[in-house]
């Protein structure tokens, strides 16, 4: 700080005192820290939002893939729950219950082509028969004409979201 005397006894201060400068620097530090913290939180929230959007997309791909298939095998009907013996790869699966306990990692699209751009994500599919009167109650394999398909999306082996729907064998 420098004192400037304009006329006679009146003097005025030029610049800042050391305390004022230190206080301003401290205040600036607090503001920068707050901005950095909020930016970090926003980035994390944005990243999780993108993962959730990807998960919803992968559920839709699974649903569309299974929607084109009959609920039971066209040839063996209800003889086999799960894939039939001659269906040695998921490319040969031709009914919904073939996909029971199947995990696609990397996930697949509607045509069952691997989507390597989503490595780290996985689609886990379970198929269970449910009671015809109470669709929330599971039933023995092939004992009813209704199955509940559940697709769970995992990110780095951690479940993110899950969706179920009912398919009828009609
Ligand atoms: Ca089959
Ligand atoms: Ca089957």
- With a pLDDT cut of 90, the percent of the chain lying above it is 73
136 C-alpha to center of ligand 2: Å? 22
Q: Is the pLDDT of residue 12 over 70?
A: no
Instruction: Express each pLDDT in 125-153 by its tens digit.
Output: 999 999 999 999 999 999 999 999 999 99
C-alpha of residue 89 to centroid of ligand 1, in Å: 11
In a domain, 29, yes or no: no
Checking if the pLDDT of 65 tops 60, the result is yes
Domain membership of residue 140 (yes or no) is yes
Among all bound ligands, the one having the nearest atom to the CA of 100 is 2
Asked if residue 69 belongs to a domain, the reply is: yes
More confident position, 14 or 167:
167
Does any domain span residue 9?
Answer: no
pLDDT of residue 47: 82
Instruction: Let me know if 14 is exposed, middle or buried by CB neighbors in 10 A (0-12, 13-18, 19+).
Output: exposed
In a domain, 33, yes or no: no
- Model confidence at 34, in pLDDT bands (50, 70, 90)? confident
Cα 42 to averaged position of ligand 1 atoms, centre (Å): 46
Q: Is the pLDDT of residue 167 over 80?
A: yes
Global pTM value = 0.75
Q: What is the pLDDT of residue 45?
A: 81
How far is residue 13's CA from residue 113's CA, in Å, rounded to a whole number?
75
141 Cα: distance to centroid of ligand 2 (angstroms)? 11
111, part of any domain: yes
* pLDDT over 90 at 43, yes or no: no
Closest of 148, 120, 145 to residue 132, by C-alpha: 145
Domain count, the chain: 1
* Torsion over CA: 152, 69, 93, 81 (sign): positive
Cα–Cα distance measured from residue 164 to residue 99, given in angstroms and rounded to the nearest whole number: 14
Domain of residue 52 covers 39-168
Q: What would the pLDDT profile of 90-106 be if each residue is shown by its tens digit? A: 999 999 999 999 999 99
CA of 56 to the centre of ligand 2 (A): 26
Is 48 within a domain? yes
- Over range 56-76, report the average pLDDT: 95
Distance 80 CA to ligand 2 centre (A): 5
- Does any domain span residue 116? yes
Residue 1 has pLDDT above 80, yes or no: no
Cα–Cα separations (whole angstroms), residue 142 to 68, 78, 101, 159, 168 = 20, 6, 16, 28, 11
């Amino acid at each position: 700080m420098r004192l400037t005397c304009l006329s006679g006894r009146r003097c005025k201060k030029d610049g800042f005192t050391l305390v004022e400068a230190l206080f301003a620097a401290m205040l600036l530090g607090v503001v920068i820290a707050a901005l950095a913290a909020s930016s970090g939180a926003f980035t994390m929230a944005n990243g999780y939002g993108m993962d959730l959007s990807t998960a919803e997309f992968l559920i839709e791909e699974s649903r569309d893939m299974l929607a084109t298939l009959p609920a039971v095998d066209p040839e063996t009907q209800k003889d086999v729950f799960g894939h039939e013996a001659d269906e040695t790869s998921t490319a040969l699966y031709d009914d919904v219950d073939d996909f029971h306990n199947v995990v696609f990692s990397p996930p697949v699209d509607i045509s069952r082509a691997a989507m390597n751009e989503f490595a780290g994500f996985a689609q886990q599919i379970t198929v269970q028969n449910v009671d015809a009167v109470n669709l929330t109650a599971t039933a023995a394999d092939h004992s009813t004409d209704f199955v509940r398909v559940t697709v769970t999306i995992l990110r780095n082996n951690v479940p993110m979201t899950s969706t179920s729907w009912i398919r009828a064998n009609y």
